[in-house]
Structure 1
């Protein structure tokens, strides 16, 4: 019985890690960071051959996702500070 619960827990945490890394960071944060990177780099970054959705694991994808995460955290922080 313990091995069944252990395997269920492993599956749950793998699904959670997939959601956090792939869906949230790879899609949501990238979609928020893509226009920020375009504006801050005057249209040069990310390169023109890279689509809006992060499909590769290039450095540009990670930087755009990181920029999106920073924007998201800034908006959450601002919202929490204004409402208190």
Structure 2
């Protein structure tokens, strides 16, 4: 029973991580990376496997965190 529960929690966590990191953060970071690189990067649309998409998602994470900090008055 514990193995089934663990598998279910891992599957739900993986799907949520993939949706949040792979989709939402990618599209949050995409315009910033395009602007900074003057349209050069990212070269391809969202390919979850590529290193570029991970970098764009990390930029999206940074932008999201900065926006949240500004909203909460942390600056």
1:8 Cα deviation from its structure 2 partner: 1.9
Q: TM-score, length-normalised on structure 2?
A: 0.86
Structural RMSD (CA):
1.5
1:10 aligns with 2:7: yes
Q: Which has the larger radius of gyration?
A: 1
Structure 1 residue 10: Cα displacement: 2.5
Instruction: Determine the structure 2 residue equivalent to 1:75.
Output: 67
Q: Are 1:43 and 2:39 matched, yes or no?
A: yes
Unaligned runs of 5+ in 2: none
Q: Which runs of 5+ in 1 are unaligned?
A: none
Q: Which residue of 2 aligns with 1:58?
A: 50
Deviation at 1:5, TM superposition (A): 4.0
Q: TM-score with structure 1 length normalisation?
A: 0.78
Query: Size of the alignment, in residue pairs?
Result: 74
Q: Deviations over 1:12-54 (max 9, x none)?
A: 232123212x10000000000010000000111111xx12xx2
